[in-house]
């Protein structure tokens, strides 16, 4: 099976921040998990470099929009690299291959009769690069997202006949109750559709920074249509000489933030229908990580800057925290102080100490070789069905619930160490069998949780599995007792040291 996962492409008009890391790491966790299942995965992220916000940001800096893109796109790539993100391709909408393919596809949409010239007027937010409908306006004609007063603008441009897709979209939502997840976002998108769809501008006359309309080069395509099509165009040139559309289309999961729901849940499927493509299987809409501000850590201040966190605590700590505290799909508060508490109590103590104790006891009591004994049925019972539970949750992109299932077993193993107290068993020779069983079960449990944690904390998991002498990452191997004893372990430095 193929699994195609995407993030939104990020505007290059600002530096990368936690929100970008959040979505991209979320997609990375799904991609890594699916690779563990043996799926044929393609994972796409990139940058959105056209449109008015980019032009305005470039003007402020006294450079051209292209120069701004060239300066900022590498900063997004750097954040992805440092966050351990395993994307297969990084698209920039200024790639000539993307631009050519956008023209081709939208020419086809025009040829199919979905486009007409007209006059548009309305309240326009230059920072959203979007006209606001009456229901989307803030008080006194402001942008509800940016809080700025909007301009009443009028221009001649080309329209996409979105209104003619009202019925097909309602039918799509009726047939596919998991088209948009979570449920609340599905309801929100459907309500928007049922509220009546007006045709939307497909092009802009006032700006020149964009992809020219092939049948009228005095206009450029409205940045949203250019940007949305990246999910298609990337597959046509990500691997030179190969067209990956047949292999990966439609996307399995498209992750987006709740602020761009309308574009992805309404415009996007309509555009795909107009161009003759299948719509994605699932859109997953996540909430925002809100900074609390008043709770401040000594080393990080009060801003959870992803690069600063990675610098001091490592990428895996950031990856873990983003999906542990706040349920993926909901809004929630994060703070540097909460981050440090989770780092210390969960990563360093619960997982880090479990690992170092287990490895040290196998070394001390059994010469560094995991006993070739059976597994203890008691902890084994608490791992029954765990792989299926994690799979089910991740099939719905519920990253937080899956992580919680795994973490409950990390805690179970810590209780197991206390219950069995191997250091006491080691004192009497006639309890050698019990000690064998305990050490083997501990090492096996640790291996299982580590394989399952791999998508969240890949660097740490690989080091730990190596130290356990069991480097296999396949999800099938994550059943308790799936691997035999006899592996040689190695000591490792603390997994989550004090920074």
DSSP 480: T
Picking from 69, 71, 75, 79, the residue whose alpha carbon sits closest to that of residue 21 is: 79
Q: Which is nearer to Zn ion, 136 or 216 (CB)?
A: 136
Least distance to Zn ion, CB of residue 143, Å: 3
Q: Is 98 a catalytic residue?
A: no
Is the distance from CB of 54 to CB of 69 less than 8 angstroms?
A: yes
Q: Is 143 a catalytic residue?
A: yes
Least distance to Zn ion, CB of residue 196, Å: 22
User: What's phi and psi for 311, nearest 5 deg?
Assistant: -55, -45
Q: Which is nearer to Zn ion, 19 or 214 (CB)?
A: 19
Euclidean distance between CA atoms 365 and 387, whole angstroms: 31
Non-local CB neighbours of 309 within 8 Å, separated by 6+ positions: 300, 317, 318, 321, 339
Q: Is 295 a catalytic residue?
A: yes
Q: Is 264 a catalytic residue?
A: no
If 0-12 CB within 10 Å is exposed, 13-18 middle and 19+ buried, where does residue 140 land?
exposed
Question: Considering only residues 100, 145, 205, 275, which one is a binding residue for Zn ion as defined by CB under 5 A?
Answer: 145
Q: Which is nearer to Zn ion, 148 or 290 (CB)?
A: 148
| Of 41-49, 127-135, 239-247, 375-383: span binding Zn ion (CB under 5 A) | 127-135
Least distance to Zn ion, CB of residue 142, Å: 9
For tokens 């493509």, what's the residue? 277
Question: Considering only residues 34, 128, 307, 473, which one is a binding residue for Zn ion as defined by CB under 5 A?
Answer: 128
Euclidean distance between CA atoms 418 and 8, whole angstroms: 46
- Taking residue 166's Cβ as centre, other Cβ atoms within 10 Å add up to 17
| Of 85-93, 128-136, 326-334, 358-366: span binding Zn ion (CB under 5 A) | 128-136
Tally the C-alpha atoms within 13 A of residue 57's C-alpha that lie toward its C-beta: 21
Is the distance from CB of 334 to CB of 326 less than 8 angstroms?
A: yes
Non-local CB neighbours of 370 within 8 Å, separated by 6+ positions: 362, 439, 440, 443, 444, 468, 469, 485, 486, 487, 488, 489
Question: Is residue 151 part of the contact set for Zn ion (CB under 5 A)?
Answer: no
Catalytic residue among 143, 264, 282, 322: 143
Q: Which is nearer to Zn ion, 145 or 482 (CB)?
A: 145
Euclidean distance between CA atoms 325 and 393, whole angstroms: 17
Least distance to Zn ion, CB of residue 145, Å: 4
Is the distance from CB of 119 to CB of 154 less than 8 angstroms?
A: yes
**Distances in Å between the alpha carbon of 37 and those of 30, 40, 242, 413, 471?**
11, 9, 25, 25, 16
Greatest distance between any 2 Cα atoms in the chain? 90
Catalytic residue among 50, 282, 298, 498: 298
Least distance to Zn ion, CB of residue 127, Å: 4
Catalytic residue among 50, 98, 114, 128: 128
DSSP 203: E
Least distance to Zn ion, CB of residue 160, Å: 21
Question: Considering only residues 55, 125, 283, 461, which one is a binding residue for Zn ion as defined by CB under 5 A?
Answer: 125
| Of 143-151, 216-224, 255-263, 280-288: span binding Zn ion (CB under 5 A) | 143-151
Catalytic residue among 98, 125, 132, 282: 125
- Give the pairing of strands 332-334 and 289-291: parallel
Where are the alpha helices (H) located in 278-426, listed in sequence order? 306-313, 315-324, 336-342, 354-366, 377-382, 386-395, 399-420, 422-425
| Of 72-80, 136-144, 174-182, 321-329: span binding Zn ion (CB under 5 A) | 136-144
Q: Which is nearer to Zn ion, 145 or 369 (CB)?
A: 145
Residues of span 48-87 touching Zn ion by CB under 5 A: none
DSSP 379: H
Q: Is 33 a catalytic residue?
A: no
Least distance to Zn ion, CB of residue 126, Å: 8
Question: Is residue 127 part of the contact set for Zn ion (CB under 5 A)?
Answer: yes
If 0-12 CB within 10 Å is exposed, 13-18 middle and 19+ buried, where does residue 145 land?
middle
Q: Which is nearer to Zn ion, 207 or 457 (CB)?
A: 207
Is the distance from CB of 125 to CB of 150 less than 8 angstroms?
A: yes
Question: Considering only residues 60, 66, 108, 146, which one is a binding residue for Zn ion as defined by CB under 5 A?
Answer: 146
Q: Is 146 a catalytic residue?
A: yes
Question: Considering only residues 143, 193, 235, 453, which one is a binding residue for Zn ion as defined by CB under 5 A?
Answer: 143
Question: Is residue 150 part of the contact set for Zn ion (CB under 5 A)?
Answer: no
Q: Is 20 a catalytic residue?
A: yes
Number of residues that bind Zn ion (CB under 5 A): 6
Least distance to Zn ion, CB of residue 132, Å: 8
Q: Which is nearer to Zn ion, 124 or 480 (CB)?
A: 124
| Catalytic residue ranges | 17, 20, 125, 128, 143, 146, 295, 298
Binding site for Zn ion (CB under 5 A): 125, 127-128, 143, 145-146
């Amino acid at each position: 099976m193929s699994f195609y996962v995407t993030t939104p492409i990020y505007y290059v008009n600002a530096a990368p921040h936690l929100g970008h890391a959040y979505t991209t790491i979320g997609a990375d966790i799904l991609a890594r998990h699916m690779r563990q299942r043996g799926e044929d995965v393609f994972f796409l992220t990139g940058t959105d470099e056209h449109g008015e916000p980019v032009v305005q940001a470039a003007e402020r800096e006294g450079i051209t929009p292209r120069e701004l893109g060239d300066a900022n796109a590498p900063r997004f790539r750097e954040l992805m690299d440092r966050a351990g993100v395993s994307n297969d391709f990084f698209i920039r909408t200024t790639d000539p291959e993307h631009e050519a393919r956008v023209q081709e596809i939208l020419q086809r949409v025009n040829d199919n009769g979905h486009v007409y010239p007209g006059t548009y007027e309305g309240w326009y937010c230059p920072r959203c690069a979007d006209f606001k409908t009456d229901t989307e306006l803030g008080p006194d004609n402001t942008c509800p997202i940016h809080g700025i007063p909007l301009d009443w603008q009028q221009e001649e441009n080309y329209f996409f006949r979105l209104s003619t897709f009202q019925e097909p979209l309602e039918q799509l939502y009726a047939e596919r109750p998991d088209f948009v997840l979570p449920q609340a976002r599905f309801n929100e998108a459907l309500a928007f559709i049922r509220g009546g769809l007006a045709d939307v501008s497909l092009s802009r006359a006032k700006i020149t920074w964009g992809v020219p309309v092939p049948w009228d080069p005095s206009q450029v395509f409205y940045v949203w249509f250019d940007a949305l099509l990246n999910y298609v165009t990337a597959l046509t040139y990500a691997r030179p000489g190969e067209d990956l559309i047949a292999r990966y289309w439609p996307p399995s999961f498209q992750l987006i933030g709740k602020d761009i729901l309308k574009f992805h849940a309404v415009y996007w499927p309509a555009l795909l229908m107009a161009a003759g493509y299948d719509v994605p299987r699932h859109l997953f809409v996540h909430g925002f990580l809100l900074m609390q501000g008043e709770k401040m850590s000594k080393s990080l201040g009060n801003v959870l800057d992803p690069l600063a966190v990675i610098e001091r605590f490592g990428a895996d700590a950031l990856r873990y925290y983003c999906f542990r505290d706040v349920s993926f799909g909901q809004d929630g508060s994060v703070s540097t102080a909460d981050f440090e508490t989770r780092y210390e109590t969960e990563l360093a103590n619960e997982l880090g100490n479990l690992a170092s104790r287990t490895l040290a006891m196998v070394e001390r009591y059994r010469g560094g070789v995991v006993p070739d004994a059976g597994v203890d049925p008691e902890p084994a019972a608490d791992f029954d069905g765990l792989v299926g539970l994690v799979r089910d949750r991740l099939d719905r992109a519920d990253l937080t619930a899956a992580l919680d299932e795994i973490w409950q077993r990390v805690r179970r193993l810590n209780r197991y160490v206390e219950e069995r107290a191997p250091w006491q068993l080691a004192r009497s020779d006639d309890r050698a069998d019990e000690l064998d069983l305990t050490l083997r079960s501990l090492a096996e449990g640790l291996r299982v949780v580590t394989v399952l944690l791999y998508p969240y904390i890949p660097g740490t998991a690989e080091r730990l599995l190596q130290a356990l002498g069991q480097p296999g990452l396949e999800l099938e191997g994550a059943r308790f007792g799936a691997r035999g004893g006899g592996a040689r372990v190695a000591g490792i430095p603390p997994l989550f040291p004090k920074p």
